[in-house]
Amino acid sequence: MKQTHYATISEAVDALRQQGFSTDFRLEFDQLTCSTARLGADEFSIVDVYRYEGDSDPADEAIVYAIQSTTGLKGLLITGYGASEDAISEQIIAKLQRI
């Protein structure tokens, strides 16, 4: 993983999109999904991670994941810091925390 830091989430997203991370991923219990694919925990890797903490409001905290699938699909997953783990499988949680 690279150790670049971007001042804001939007700067990170813009820079990653320029690097080809153009797909928007969503978390759905035991997989990442987008308009063209569904990926289980063993079908993607995390290329980069950027954490952002709000100055005073925990609702401003987020994590930007740069994701690449085993088939070469590249995209972003943006989650709230400490997103509800009740709605996500243990395999996906473990994968996202292994950074």
pLDDT digits (tens, 9 = 90+) for 1-47: 455 788 889 999 999 999 999 999 999 889 999 999 999 999 999 99
How many structural domains does the chain have?
Answer: 1
Residue 92's CB: how many other CB atoms inside 10 A? 20
Is 57 a member of any domain?
Answer: yes
* pLDDT higher than threshold 80 for residue 48: yes
Question: What DSSP element (H or E) covers 91?
Answer: helix 90-97
Look up the pTM and report it: 0.83
Residue 3 lies in a domain: no
Tell me whether residue 32 is in a domain. yes
Measured distance CA(99)–CA(95) in Å, rounded: 8
- CA–CA dist 52, 35 (Å, integer): 26
Residue 1 covered by a domain: no
- The β-bridge partners of 88 are 29
DSSP class of residue 29 equals B
